[in-house]
Homo-oligomer: A and B are copies of this chain.
Amino acid sequence: MSLDKMIEKIAALQNPTVAGLDPKLDYIPQYIRYQAYAKYGQTLEGAAEAILQYNKGLIDALCGIVPAVKPQAAYYEMYGWQGVRTLCETIRYAREKGMYVILDGKRNDIGATMESYAAAWLGLTQIEGKLESAFGADALTVNGYLGSDGINPLLKVCSEGDKGIFVLVKTSNPSSGELQDRALATGETIYRAMGASCEEWGKSLPGKYGYSGVGAVVGATYPAQLGELREAMPYTFFLVPGYGAQGGGAKDVAPGFDRNGLGAIVNASRSILCAWKKTNAAPEDFAKAAAAEAVRMRDDIMSEVGAIRLPE
């Protein structure tokens, strides 16, 4: 019913980061791609198989270092249902290896439709009374533009199944301010209003460590807002994109953490996935290079955070 399981994994590994699994074919060593094409052709199925093998290699190398992975749905949907099958198998494999899985789908809808998304990604699907797990992630990113009707169905599933959500509050992209930074008549910004809603929604999903099951997405590229929101949203854990390739550094993410070293999990995707290319490693060493980059990122961020301890 909260993000406690994620928080415990972060503390156990002393690593407040998550590896974004946003695989592009370009990132995948040629030998993995060509093995897959030999089996399934240069097709959606062949591409999906290459991504699955690449992801498994990454997960094997990262699972002892990084507490969580965050597959981004778009990079799987672009390979059709075959890509979505790879997403499903990636989620299962990462969980088998003990990793916490945040599905980055930014889903949003209302009522029965949101219930269906909740069943799809976090909960169970009922088939004539039988319960089946469709994707079975641990947490889901969501977009709150539709208001409480779009969030309440998720809270129910989170509370039944020990799952969590992350609501978009202040995103990391250059144009995020077009809407999110606009001032309301009350003087507060839209992102502050969305943040206040997160604090409110979280009340029904309290956690053991002071953070609710309703997290927020707050970009590393806006450190001032990250600090402002950390103060304004004391019960809301932050998922922080924008470190690394998008330009954020350890000092930029530091304002997202509390005095226990909790409060934020920082995502990096490209810098980990492409580490083997950047370091001119042999293609066969892609996973080793990813792990080395994950360690570097952990040490970089922990140099600002100090230590992570679970409050009593």
> Which chain B positions have C-beta within 8 A of A75?
113, 116
Chain B residues with CB below 8 A from A312, complex form: none
Report which of B83, B125, B148 forms a contact with A78, defined as CB distance below 8 A: B125
B180 and A113 within 8 A (CB): no
Kindly state whether residue A173 has any CB partner on chain B within 8 Å. Answer: yes
A85 lies within 8 A of B81 (CB): yes
Residues of B within 8 A of A77 (CB): 116-117, 120-121, 134-135
- Scan A37-50; emit 1 where CB is below 8 A from any B CB, else 0: 10000111011000
Q: Mark A169-206, 1 if CB is under 8 A from B, else 0.
A: 00111111111101111010010011001000000000
Number of copies: 2
B interface footprint on A105-125 (CB within 8 Å = 1, 0 otherwise): 011111111101101110001
Number of interface residues of A (CB under 8 A): 73
Complex CA distance for A184 and B190, rounded to whole angstroms: 9
What B residues does A150 contact at CB under 8 A? 173, 175
Residues of A participating in the B interface, judged by any CB pair closer than 8 Å: 22, 24-25, 33, 37, 42-44, 46-47, 72, 74-75, 77-81, 83-85, 87-88, 106-114, 116-117, 119-121, 125-128, 130, 132, 134-135, 143-150, 168, 171-180, 182-185, 187, 190, 193-194, 197
